[in-house]
Structure 1
Amino acid sequence: MTSNHHSPAPEQRVAYSAGGVIYRVNDHRYEVALIATHERRRWGLPKGHVRRGETAEAAAVREIAEETGLHGVVERHLATIEYWFRVGSTRIHKYVDLFLVRYTDGSLMPQTAEVDDVRWFALEEAAEIASFARERDVLNQVRQILNL
């Protein structure tokens, strides 16, 4: 462009989050915990920012505990989801590492500031009600891993 009137290129930055599918076996069936946001209209996987110097695995376990009250152990990496979003004039390229996490202890306690509800769902149901297609894909991937 030769015009002097064009606006500067929008700023871009990269953001990293981690989270995952925390599961337990209850009465011979697999259950996973989902969190609700947006007045319980949106169900999804618990996740949040990776802190400086923190591994994605450690961040996933910490964020799951903070958002759900549940503690677990990472078993394997499932997927990295990436997408773009805007904050003001800044374009943010976000990467989210999702892990399969085996529940060890703790009880459901939604993080009041950020989460409206948290519940255990049968894995099949979770894969249907998760609001984002890529999270549904990851939950279906877990069904295959666990041979369901």
Structure 2
Amino acid sequence: MRAYSAGGVVFRLVPMGASERRLLRLVEDESTEEASSMEVVLVGRSHAGTWALPKGTPQPGETVEQVAVREVQEETGLEARLIAYIGSISYSFVRDQVRYHKQVRHFLLEAVGGDISLHDYEYDMVEWFPLHEACRRLTYQNEVHILYQAEELLSRWMQYQRKERQQ
């Protein structure tokens, strides 16, 4: 049986402290006054010891983009703005003696409001992690790959935003 869902990588930019900016200046020649680091939110189940990206199943009439935004809000408690499509992953699993072939479409989303304490019951843990820590925590390697793709996409998006502000 085929199943589809959508979700994504929800990020926020956290300003770097003065000591981090000084260290970055030693490595780069450009100004780092506005330097920031990316954090992403993961959802987890403590009894299973798993960490994942938020995702979920469409409701009738929803677009894949609407599913991603809604599921992120439900599972993380965060309001998010959709930035771009990242990519998809596919995997199989068996439930009640039925094999499912699932495709999950992932989007890059910026946290713009809400609070992780407002997440629904589906996961008992929702936490922010620096990008590389999130990669280490994720249970499934295909989601780690999505996270690296999100990092590249976010870097290009931030460069575009900087150029737009300068014009």
Q: Do these two structures clear the TM 0.5 threshold for a shared fold by scoring above it? A: yes
AA at the equivalent of 2:103:
Y
Aligned equivalent of 1:7: none
Instruction: Determine if the alignment matches structure 1 residue 26 to structure 2 residue 14.
Output: yes
- TM-fit CA distance, 1:118: 0.5
Large movers: runs of 4+ above 4 Å: none
Residue of structure 2 aligned with 1:70, choices 71, 78, 95 = 78
Whether contact under 8 Å (1:20, 1:101) holds in the other structure is: yes
**Residue in 2 aligned with 1:102?**
110
1:112 is displaced (CA, Å) by 4.7
- Number of aligned positions between the proteins: 136
1-structure distance, mates of 2:144, 2:85: 16
Q: TM-score, normalised by structure 1?
A: 0.85
Partner of 2:121: 113
Classify the secondary structure of the residue corresponding to 1:109.
helix
The residue aligned with 2:139 is: 131
Q: Which runs of 5+ in 2 are unaligned?
A: 16-35, 157-167
- Partner residue, 1:143: 151
Identity over aligned pairs, percent? 38
Gaps of 5+ in 1: 1-12
Check whether the contact 2:73–2:119 (CA below 8 A) recurs between aligned residues: no
Of 67-76 and 87-96, the range deviating more from structure 2: 87-96
Contact persistence 1:82–1:96 (CA under 8 A): yes
What amino acid maps onto 1:41 in structure 2?
G
CA contact (8 A) 2:54 2:72 kept: yes
Q: Of residues 35, 39, 47 in structure 1, which corresponds to 2:55?
A: 47
Q: What's the RMSD between the two structures over aligned residues?
A: 1.7
Contact in 2 for aligned 1:110/1:118 (Cα 8 Å): no
State the match for 1:9 in structure 2: none
| CA deviation profile, 1:61-99 (whole Å, cap 9, x unmatched) | 100100110011111111111111112232211111110
Distance 1:72 1:111 in 2: 13
What SS does the aligned partner of 2:149 have? helix
Higher strand share: 1
Instruction: Letter of the 2:12 partner, please give it.
Output: R
Distance 1:35 1:118 in 2: 5
Higher fraction of helix: 2
